[in-house]
Amino acid sequence: MDIPTHPSWGDDGMIYWAQGSFIFRAPADGEGEAERVTPEAGWLPGFPSPLPEGRGLLLTVRHWEHASGRKNDRIAVVGPNGGEPKELVKGVAARYASSGHLLYTTWDGTLMGVPFDLETLQTTGSPVPLIGGEPGREAIEVQYSGKGAFDLSRSGTLVYQTGGAPRHLSTVCWDRGDGPQPVDSTWIGRFTDLRTSPDGTRLAAIETKETTQEIWIKPLDGTPGRRIWFTPDVVRGLEWTPDGESVTFLKDTGIREDPGAGPSIPFLKRVDSDEPADRLLPVAGEIRGERILWHPGSEWLVYSAGPEDGSTPAGIWASRYGTDDHPILLVEDTPDHHPVGA
């Protein structure tokens, strides 16, 4: 069974994800069937990133004949109706910036930028290195999947994690157009799940230490940050709620060396409160997948779940936070179709 990965929520009300040789999408309201966005064409797709106003979709294609050569990944785009991707530039995991550019990384950790026209879905200039790209310059941390450790808020704030420091330690930096600046020059560690707040003023991150994982909130104005959560269990899937007042995350109940050994428990933690994190309810069955996905500007959240006791079907579910409404099954996992992995 191919495991779905890299979910993303578009302005067009659709949820997109990669699975096997295809990109899929399904209506977020559960009123339609899941459909393929891309055809079978002999390459592996990944990292779908919807463009604004339903203009189309950015994705990364990895050709089958070069599956062992990571340098052959390409950024591609498809229109709003899907179809054959059109390759744009060499790189991985592109994001669209409101300035009219695509940001993406290469396998050596260079963060690149290239002008992009939303109307024609074409690049309109040459790629330029923004971070890294020269000997001696600190580069972006590149994850095993090939994705660069950076995030871009809707307001235009860029946060990223540098790589190459001893013992895989790194410094988190941000850039608002005047060059990279450390969020905190003394904050050095093993960071994952960098997430900018909806208003672009704060950073949430998971720091892995020898015996614990910690969730930190760091303001981008230079004021001190604060640790809001720590646990000996594995924590992942960090996300801001749309109002910017809380973060959600998954806590795995398996051991640290085998985080998938047990079910994942979803939690919500208010970032300005010393109260414990609350278990995020309602959910259906046992949480699976990488994270819980919030719809921008609403209380709806999407996640994948499998049955704990067989009483509920496995699939992609939607819940409305703060209500007693029953979760809604958007896409069911069947022997012929396996959408689970939000």
- What is the DSSP pairing of strand 278-279 with strand 286-294? unpaired
CA nearest 196: which of 223, 225, 161, 159?
159
Strand partners, 161: 172
pLDDT in tens, 72-106: 788 999 998 888 899 999 988 899 998 999 999 88
**Across 321-330, average pLDDT:** 73
The whole-chain average pLDDT of the chain stands at 78
pLDDT digits (tens, 9 = 90+) for 111-131: 899 999 999 999 999 999 988
pLDDT in tens, 16-45: 888 877 888 988 877 888 888 888 766 678
Query: Measured between alpha carbons, how far is 291 from 282 in angstroms, rounded to an integer?
Result: 15
Q: What is the reported pLDDT for 95?
A: 92
- DSSP letters, 212-263, are -EEEEEEETTS---EEEEEESSEEEEEEE-TTSSEEEEEEE-S-TT-GGGS-
pLDDT at 167: 38
Instruction: Quote the pLDDT of residue 127.
Output: 94
* Predicted confidence (pLDDT) per residue in 219-258, tens digit: 888 788 888 988 877 888 889 998 899 999 988 765 444 4
Most confident of 41-50, 128-137, 328-337: 41-50
Other C-beta atoms closer than 10 Å to the C-beta of 186 total 6
- Phi, psi at residue 52, to the nearest 5°? -60, 155
pLDDT score of 81: 87
223 neighbors 235 (Cβ within 8 angstroms): no
